[in-house]
Structure 1
Amino acid sequence: MVTKAYGAQAADKRLEPMDVVRREPGPRDVQIDILYCGVCHSDLHQVRSEWAGTLYPCVPGHEIVGHVSAVGRAVTAFKAGDTVGVGCMVDSCQHCASCAEGLEQYCETGNTLTYNSPSPDAPGHTLGGYSQRIVVDEKFVLRITHSEAQLAAAAPLLCAGITTWSPLRHWEAGPGKKVGIVGIGGLGHMGVKLARAMGAHVVAFTTSESKRRDALDLGANDVIVSRNANEMAEHAASFDFILDTVGASHDLDPYLDLLKRDGTLCLVGAPEHPHPSPGVFGLIMGRKAIAGSTIGGIAETQEMLDFCAQHGIVADVEMIPIQKIEEAYERMQRSDVRYRFVIDSATLAA
């Protein structure tokens, strides 16, 4: 099945229109006509080979929302017309310990990512959501219950939402907990919204005074400009948990100083270059931890989507036609978006 898409043929090539082939739905497959696809910074890193191992042609996109257009004969959970989503994974081994616990993101034999993973389908690797349709095993399809008017803004929940939800849930953000969110971008703005809805006292960290009002409007109880040493010092040793969403290399030590004993600094941003090594004494003197987290399992992602629908939570987005994807990448590198671009997939037909 031929479908229109946008992708790149090499790291130094612009994204351009191309035709790609999707498999016909197998017995347990769901075919999805894509309505919207969010634009993640990971897309830019991968398509430009800033992360190793890019396979070309590369069609990015893993924040997908659409309608089911066909299902395989053994599919029972979905039917034509259903509103569904696809996130960062489209398969996993299904038999390792992590998969058995519903943690497919940590599949011990390696999960299959929505794009740039080896696949038996043409052209030998997966192709993502910058396309008109996609075919996915029903186990990796999520149900979307947001209203039709919210669907574009719900698309980033499939990556930015679950990437922040999973660690907030794991480290039990909620009433009585003081939670910090470092960075007010695509990930960070979702972290603020989710942590506040979960009942935590939320403090947003930003390097820019101009984002103070934005962070408060997103739901932060307080805002710290991290370049202001006095503001940082006022919150020393007071945080239970800090979620660092920044995708650029930076010093972690100032945030370790803000943790209580047994507090955790969790990294979800993936910088192009490693962070400077933190000082050991900042860790051992308070039994503090630096941890990491990536997306979430399928059951956990469904839990997040249902929570967001119940609480009216969506991303703050700017809709673009696919023809402006290169401009969007350039603006994303300048942090010139509040806070996530979303592609209107109807423009692929133009």
Structure 2
Amino acid sequence: MIKANARGVSGPTEKFEPITVERRDLDSRDVLIEIKYAGICHSDIHCAHSEWKEETYPVIPGHEIAGIVMETGSDVKKYKSGDRVGVGCMVDSCGECENCKKGEEQFCLKGATMTYADVDKYGDHTYGGYSTHIVVPEDFVLHIPEGIELDVAAPLLCAGITTYSPLNRWGAGPGKKVAVVGLGGLGHMGVKIANAMGAEVTVLSQTLNKKEDGLRLGADHYYATSDASTFETLAGTFDLIINTVSAKIDVDAFLSLLTVDGALVNVGAPSEPLSLNVFSLLGGRRSFAGSMIGGIPETQKMLDFCAEHGIGSEIEVISADQIDEAYERVMASDVRYRFVIDAGTIGAE
């Protein structure tokens, strides 16, 4: 077994503390990665605090992982020692079902194995990227192209693919008008990627506090949703709206902003149900949809796209001792726009 230093929590109200975990010895198709950086996603906070379901502790979060290959199993073909790589939200799937064969492993019919707070095929609890090392099957390791530094690449493994996937699927590009609801960890990536795809991009945020940032990141327009006139001014405007916020929204109000055949796609995950009036859909043949990360092939496509266009996340690098403070700041919306942990600061227990 391989010893790795990590930071985790032993209960839903506990602080982060040093933990030593065991990573499995390499199977023939496994890759051992030295983690350099790990992004902090809001999902990490939900999990650490058992807000979505009752978790098994300790929990070591982290599914935005960037690092360097240290060692590979005897049958690994794609990677070698020294390669720059990433790991996202999944570390395995059945590989045999229809969805897996289509490269949509996130929808594995037998259930994909999540990077943390899950149980793998060996019966072991999975621990995430708030650690110094991780062992992952090669098919769930991504190549990080030259042109993207590892620290700004780490959040692409969740925030990047979560926004890229619906933008790609619903055809964001030249001639399309795209709105991004919320300018946070997800939203700022949505703006950057939609702009690079050639779409006309609008940010819809509660206030105009981040307008200067939004325009700098690639938005063409910026409106405050707290201003009722926004919904009158923009009625029937957008081909696609990506909702990145995890709070409850007035779905009917946002559907009214779509053109005929437009789509409102939720990537944020609010803790309470959303409701709508079906006539908001019927009136313009509109769609209300959801999207969850992307499969491994699409994630690699996203990384290559970001490298080609010089896209990385806007980050604040922190030490492992600052994780608790970072969680508090994320919940207070006091980050622009992603915290990234320097894994070199993770000490032994």
TM-score by length of 2: 0.97
2:230 alignment counterpart: 231
Residue 6 of structure 2 contacts residue 347 of structure 2 at CA under 8 Å; is this kept in 1?
A: no
**What letter is aligned with 1:343?**
I
5+ residue gaps, structure 2, are: none
Higher deviation after alignment, 3-12 or 228-237: 228-237
1:131 alignment counterpart: 131
**Cα deviation digits, residues 69-123 of structure 1 (max 9, x gap):** 000000011000000000000001111111111111111110000001112557x
2:300 alignment counterpart: 302
Segments of 4+ in structure 1 off by > 4 A? none
Give the length in aligned residue pairs.
Answer: 347
1:335 alignment counterpart: 333
* CA RMSD in angstroms, aligned pairs only: 1.2
1:37 alignment counterpart: 38
Quote how far apart the aligned CAs of 1:324 are: 0.6
Give, in whole Å, the separation in 1 of the partners of 2:138 and 2:54: 27
1:107 alignment counterpart: 108
**Cα deviation digits, residues 185-209 of structure 1 (max 9, x gap):** 0000000000000011111111121
**Cα deviation digits, residues 113-149 of structure 1 (max 9, x gap):** 0001112557x3110000000000000000001447x
5+ residue gaps, structure 1, are: none
**What letter is aligned with 1:208?**
T
* % identical equivalent positions: 52
**Cα deviation digits, residues 211-257 of structure 1 (max 9, x gap):** 11111111001111111122221111111110000011222121100
Within 5 Å, give how 1:47-196 maps onto structure 2.
47-120=48-121, 124-147=124-147, 150-196=149-195
Give, in whole Å, the separation in 2 of the partners of 1:100 and 1:3: 33
Secondary structure at the counterpart of residue 210 of structure 1: coil
Residue 224 of structure 1 contacts residue 232 of structure 1 at CA under 8 Å; is this kept in 2?
A: no
Secondary structure at the counterpart of residue 346 of structure 2: helix
2:22 alignment counterpart: 21
Give, in whole Å, the separation in 2 of the partners of 1:81 and 1:242: 40
Give, in whole Å, the separation in 2 of the partners of 1:72 and 1:136: 10
Give, in whole Å, the separation in 2 of the partners of 1:196 and 1:126: 36
Residue 9 of structure 2 contacts residue 58 of structure 2 at CA under 8 Å; is this kept in 1?
A: yes
Give, in whole Å, the separation in 2 of the partners of 1:24 and 1:241: 46
**What letter is aligned with 2:253?**
P
Give, in whole Å, the separation in 1 of the partners of 2:78 and 2:37: 22
1:283 alignment counterpart: 281
Give, in whole Å, the separation in 2 of the partners of 1:119 and 1:315: 30
2:244 alignment counterpart: 245
Residue 63 of structure 1 contacts residue 129 of structure 1 at CA under 8 Å; is this kept in 2?
A: yes
Residue 18 of structure 2 contacts residue 347 of structure 2 at CA under 8 Å; is this kept in 1?
A: no
Within 5 Å, give how 1:249-260 maps onto structure 2.
249-260=248-259
TM-score by length of 1: 0.97
Residue 208 of structure 2 contacts residue 222 of structure 2 at CA under 8 Å; is this kept in 1?
A: no
Give, in whole Å, the separation in 2 of the partners of 1:129 and 1:253: 38
Secondary structure at the counterpart of residue 227 of structure 1: coil
**What letter is aligned with 2:212?**
R
Give, in whole Å, the separation in 2 of the partners of 1:60 and 1:222: 35
**What letter is aligned with 1:65?**
A
Which one of the candidate residues 282, 305, 319 is aligned to 2:317? 319
Residue 146 of structure 1 contacts residue 154 of structure 1 at CA under 8 Å; is this kept in 2?
A: no
